[in-house]
Amino acid sequence: MKTVFSVLTVVAGIVVIWYLACVPMNIKGVLDQAQRAGEKVVPDTANARRDAAALGLVAKNTFAINRVWSVDRPRLPAPHQVVTELWQTTVMKKVTSKRSLIYHAHVTLSATLLGFALGTGLGILLSVGIVHSRVMDMSVMPWAIVSQTIPIIALAPMIIVVLYSIGVQGLLPKAIIAAYLSFFPVVVGMVKGLRSPDQMQLDLMRTYGASGGQLFWKLRLPSSMPYLFASLKIGIAASLVGAIVGELPTGAVAGLGARLLAGSYYGQTVQIWSALFAAAILAGLLVALLGLVERTLLGRMGVKS
């Protein structure tokens, strides 16, 4: 209860700071507009205003302050503008409309989930191989760890273009980028998890005369679950980033990344912010969903969390 209250306070603080930040960020645009409408503005040329400090402009033109939160194309949109845009592009639009954020989120989400499933599946397979084969462990594992330190997302534009040139387009290229971003966290986490049973437990299984398969299914796999879920949560967030970045280089027309790009081309800041928040909400939902699955599954398996 106390935690909820603190969190709400922090969030409220952030919103207040955001509203305040709108004043210096938007004041120049507001003053330019006011001058064009024939009002008296204190440094009366745009050039003089460009060099002036934003806070000084605010102090000299107090009449304009209440307008900074309702600018058409603000440098920093106010929170309520973003919320209104989100509301209008999700609830008020038909889902099939090209301007509906739900439609764009759906495009990105399907690439994310397909890639996540691919990456996780391959990652679990590889980690099983690594745990059971010493050669694979020694030759592949160092590369999997090193790959965590390099920005593999730099490969994204190339993958899109190369796949396009051999005729693959649409969902799959984005899904592949999402897959390789979630692949390595899953491999590293899963190898750790499959190795987590200690010698005592392994010895016990041996005393029971367990076969290799039984050892895997009854001991290694169940005890790897907490590790698996920890890396799945990292993996799905990475997948979403991958799917969004995958939409950038081709100038895709649909998807949250495409909304970001279109917004930045046409200076539609409110659109960028609402796409950003849609992506954030999507990421939050996905991680929360995995957390829910984790809690129910681990709860039924009797793992104390």
Partner 1 sequence: MTLVMLLLVVLIWALGWWINARLANGAQSETRAVKLAVPAIFGLTLLIVWELLVRGLGVPMVILPAPSLIAARFAGSLAILWADFSQTILKGALGGYVIGCGAAVLTAILVDRSDFLRRGLLPVGNFVAALPIVGTAPILVMWFGFDWQSKAAVVVVMVFFPMLVNTVAGLREASDMQRDLMQTYAASYWQSLTKLRLPAALPFVFNGLKISTTLALVGAIVAEFFGSPTVGMGFRISTSVGQLALDMVWAEIVVAALAGSLFYGLIAVMEKMLTFWHPSQRG
Write out the residues near partner 1 by the rule CB under 8 A.
2-3, 5-11, 14, 75, 134-135, 137-143, 146, 148-151, 153-155, 157-158, 161-162, 165-166, 233, 237, 240-241, 244-245, 248-249, 256, 260-261, 263-264, 267, 269, 272-273, 275-276, 279-280, 283-284, 287
Start-to-end C-alpha separation, the chain: 20
Residue 196 near residue 224, CB atoms below 8 Å:
yes
Residue 46 or 138: the one with the smaller Cβ distance to partner 1 is 138
C-alpha of 154 from chain center: 17
The position carrying tokens 């679990």 is: 124
Residue 269 CB, shortest distance to partner 1, in Å, is 7
Rounded to a whole number of angstroms, the minimum distance from the CB of residue 195 to partner 1 is: 16
Query: Nearest distance from residue 3's CB to partner 1, in Å?
Result: 5
Identify whether the C-beta of residue 27 lies closer than 8 Å to the C-beta of residue 54: yes
Give dist(CA 116, CA 232) in Å, integer.
9
Q: Which is nearer to partner 1, 219 or 282 (CB)?
A: 282
> Which residue's CB is nearer to partner 1, number 145 or number 301?
145
If phi > 0 it is left, if psi is from -120 to 50 it is alpha, else beta; for residue 255 that is left
The torsion defined by the Cα of 130, 287, 263 and 152, in degrees rounded to 10, comes to: -10
How far apart are alpha carbons 269 and 259 in whole angstroms? 11
Nearer to partner 1, 95 or 288 (CB): 288
- Euclidean distance between CA atoms 44 and 128, whole angstroms: 71
- Closer residue to partner 1 (CB): 223 or 269: 269
Min CB(167)–partner 1 separation in Å: 11
Do residues 97 and 103 touch, judged by C-beta distance below 8 A? yes
Coarse DSSP helix, strand, coil percentages of the chain, rounded to the nearest 5 percent: 80, 0, 20
Beta carbon nearer to partner 1, 75 or 93: 75
What is the Cα–Cα distance from 172 to 123, expressed in whole angstroms?
18
Rank residues 162 and 301 by Cβ distance to partner 1 and give the closer one.
Answer: 162
138, two tokens? 């020694």
| Minimum separation from the CB atom of position 111 to partner 1 (A) | 13
CB of 11 to partner 1, least distance (A): 7
Minimum CB distance to partner 1, residue 39 (Å): 26
CB of 284 to partner 1, least distance (A): 6
42 or 83, CB closer to partner 1?
83
- Please name the residue ranges forming H helices in 133-268: 134-147, 156-165, 171-194, 199-207, 212-214, 221-246, 256-266
